[in-house]
Amino acid sequence: MTQNVIEILDGGLLTTIQDTGRFGFQKFGIPVSGAMDIQSLKIANKLLNNPINAACIEITVIGPKIKFLKDTFISITGANISPKINNKKTQMWQSIKIKKGDILEFKELLDGMRSYIAFVEGIDVEKIMDSRSTYLQGNLGGFKGRKLESGDILKSFKNNDDDNNMHLRKYEPLVYGHEHAIRIILGPQNDYFPPESISTLLNSEYTISLESDRMGYRLNGPTIKHIDTPDIISDGSPYGAIQIPGDGIPIILLADRGTTGGYTKIATIISSDLTKLAQALPGDILKFSVITIEEATKLIKSESQYLESYQEFTNKDEDTIFNIYIDGELIEIIDDTENLYGIKEKLSPPTITKSINAQTKIPQSGHNFDFEIEITRKQSIDEI
Amino acid sequence: METELNFLSAGDQSLVIELGKSIDLELNQKIRDLTSSIEQKSIPGIIELIPSYRSILINFDANVISIPKLKNLFSDLYLNLKNAKLPKPKTIEIPTLFAGKYGPDIEFVARNAKLTIQEVISVYTNNIYPICMIGFTPGFPYLQGLDQRLSTPRLKTPRTSVNPGSVGIADNQTGIYPVKSPGGWQIIGRTPLKLFSPNNKNPFIFNIGDNIKFTSILNEKEFSNIEKNMNLIEENEI
């Protein structure tokens, strides 16, 4: 059974439905698609105790505006695009309780490139070739094969009515930054390049160009020369392959990559670093280094363990949230009272005395309680 | 037969088996046989295979299976390929309306081959074409076996849009466009068959290694009859 869960009020830049990907049809020319940042999608699902491959919403740089049509839980992971519920900053990397009528929107991009919203039991759209992922170029899968637009109403699978007894979970937030150490394994066609070209790749800084999308990222940086030809007889394209066409400009093949291609591939990015790429913006710096397959495999296994590293917390904890405002601007959310005293340290140095409006929910009552705290910071001799 | 496979490194969750560096029918049959023999074995951890002209890309889950183990399994399967009981390739008939508005480039192909249009159709439909690879767009078959005389260079300026079902020639390759897409191949005809039906249980009507046999449709009436029947079949399947 399914229920309407959200209405899209504004689609944002590129908001699509994705799961872990469409497998088994690449030999017929169908790209895998799926979340660009599989790790964040899996974490988002794990936060709601969903099947790991449940369909989520993938958001790109500019988030959508979403109205909830039922009481439910969601989770938001990946890039920090300042998510707000009913105009109040909301936490990422944890389960969030939602009331019917709540409005979720996203403001400025603070870190990363793509966010994921998971819904209890996952979004219900028709499976096309075993997957709910949107393949944009093929107009296939997801919601009508396209990005989400205002007016779209999405369903999610119905879970039991004991939503309120759900185990709430949280993870340590991940941060991405703008410089990314990317580890690679040479091959499949590294023998088409002279040693100088390999060292160019490993010793240069590359930046992600504006010609980058879900199919692949074109890089800016020193060109990479072939020994002879850049062409091969077309063969399969691995996820994360670094393809070098005749002009020597590297292209990294990503989620919506064509299944086959006729250009040499100098190296392949390790699976664990594909998350960094999915969260890298045009202009971000990439530095490549080589690691062994054994090391890369260990990283894959520790990533699987990381998925089990969530902490559980109860609804009650969630109610003791302090929103700290200074001059009307929300500066901090503190989710336990002890940390409230830490606020002093977080005020910027010129602040000597400030009146702070704080807000808390009284546990179980559902009411908000506003109060003011006076924080006085001792003037140091230097400042006088 | 070579006893050792050539493996190429392709990251931590992919591996390439390369059987050669040329486009060769015999090589491609081996690719096809090895692919079905691996698929038949349903090895835990193998996610999917992408066979192409002369190599196979294997995508696997490194949490389940390791590269050394995969290499051993594949080498064993390759050695025993002769004894493997593999499904026989199918021959799929593709009814095609040649020339006219559905085959706007057939005149150019005919002039290039110094043949009449009728001769082009008869030479083209006389051959059987094995599918060496599927790619480019969903379900696009790369076919081998074009008669040398029909080999024609690509269009100087590719079309921005080629209709689904269009049958084309590019140098010594031939193929069918399953979905609307840009394309630079010389279009000689069109089939009313649907090559890609994403909502069907089996979205594609052929596989790598299968053979294509083109037959000539007489006129537009026959073309639209077949088209109508296709739609009926599809409705029933969904």
Report the percentage of chain A scoring pLDDT > 70. Answer: 80
What span, in angstroms and rounded, lies between the C-alpha atoms of B56 and B61? 16
Q: How confident is the model at residue A370 (pLDDT cuts 50, 70, 90)?
A: low
What span, in angstroms and rounded, lies between the C-alpha atoms of A245 and A252? 11
Name every residue in B having a CB less than 8 A away from some CB of A.
Answer: 8-14, 16, 21-23, 35, 47-57, 59, 62-63, 66-67, 133-140, 142, 179, 198-199, 203-204, 207-208
Question: Beta-carbon neighbour count of residue B229 at 10 Å?
Answer: 12
Q: Do A234 and B12 touch (CB under 8 A)?
A: no
pLDDT on residue A319? 46
Give B116 to chain A, closest Cα distance, Å.
Answer: 33
Question: Beta-carbon neighbour count of residue A294 at 10 Å?
Answer: 10
Query: Which pair of tokens denotes residue A128?
Result: 């096309």
Most confident of A54-68, A333-347, B23-37: A54-68
pLDDT on residue A163? 58
Q: Tally C-beta pairs within 8 A across A and B.
A: 134
Residues A75, A137, B135, B55, CA torsion sign: negative
Tell me: cis bond preceding A188? Omega within 30 of 0 counts. yes
The values of phi and psi at residue B201, to 5°, are: -60, -45
Query: Which pair of tokens denotes residue A24?
Result: 């088994």
Give A241 to chain B, closest Cα distance, Å.
Answer: 8
What span, in angstroms and rounded, lies between the C-alpha atoms of B165 and A303? 45
Chunked in runs of 10, what are the mean pLDDT values of chain B (238 residues)?
81 97 91 95 96 97 97 95 88 97 97 97 97 92 95 91 95 92 94 93 92 96 93 65
Q: Do A238 and B14 touch (CB under 8 A)?
A: yes
pLDDT on residue A342? 45
CA A287 to mean position of chain CA atoms: 21
pLDDT digits (tens, 9 = 90+) for A210-249: 999 999 999 999 999 999 999 899 999 999 999 999 999 9
pLDDT digits (tens, 9 = 90+) for B142-167: 999 999 999 999 998 889 899 999 99
Chain A residues within an 8 Å CB radius of B142 = 234
Report the percentage of chain A scoring pLDDT > 90. Answer: 75
Q: How confident is the model at residue A7 (pLDDT cuts 50, 70, 90)?
A: very high
Q: State how beta strands A322-326 and A353-361 pair.
A: antiparallel
User: For residue B55, what is the nearest residue in chain A, using CA coordinates?
Assistant: A235
pLDDT on residue A158? 75
Q: How confident is the model at residue A327 (pLDDT cuts 50, 70, 90)?
A: low
Angle at which helix B117-126 crosses helix B106-113, to 10 degrees, equals 90
What is the Cβ-side half-sphere exposure of residue A125, based on CA atoms within 13 angstroms? 26
Residues B215, B221, B227, B230, CA torsion sign: negative
Give the 3-state secondary structure of residue A84.
strand
DSSP string, B3-31: SS-EEEE-SSSEEEEE--SS--HHHHHHH
User: For residue B139, what is the nearest residue in chain A, using CA coordinates?
Assistant: A28
The overall average pLDDT reported for chain A is: 87
What span, in angstroms and rounded, lies between the C-alpha atoms of A213 and A257? 10
Give B17 to chain A, closest Cα distance, Å.
Answer: 10
Report whether pLDDT(A340) > 80. no
Strands (E) across chain B are located at 6-9, 14-18, 46-51, 55-60, 91-98, 128-134, 141-143, 159-162, 166-170, 173-176, 181-183, 186-190, 211-216
Alpha helices in chain A (DSSP H): 38-47, 195-203, 274-278, 293-306, 315-319, 337-340, 343-346
Give the 3-state secondary structure of residue B167.
strand
Q: State how beta strands A103-106 and B141-143 pair.
A: unpaired
pLDDT on residue A13? 98
Give A184 to chain B, closest Cα distance, Å.
Answer: 7
Report whether pLDDT(A321) > 70. no
Chain A residues within an 8 Å CB radius of B34 = none
- Predicted complex ipTM: 0.91
Give A50 to chain B, closest Cα distance, Å.
Answer: 20
Q: Do A140 and B198 touch (CB under 8 A)?
A: yes
Instruction: Decide if B152 contacts B171 (C-beta within 8 A).
Output: yes
Determine the average pLDDT of the residues in A5-27. Answer: 97
Indicate which of B6, B7, B8, B12 best probes the interface with A, i.e. most A CBs within 10 Å of its own CB: B12
Question: Range with the lowest mean pLDDT among A267-281, A303-317, B195-209?
Answer: A303-317
Chain B residues within an 8 Å CB radius of A258 = 135-136
Determine the average pLDDT of the residues in A93-110. Answer: 96
- What is the value of pTM for the model shown? 0.85
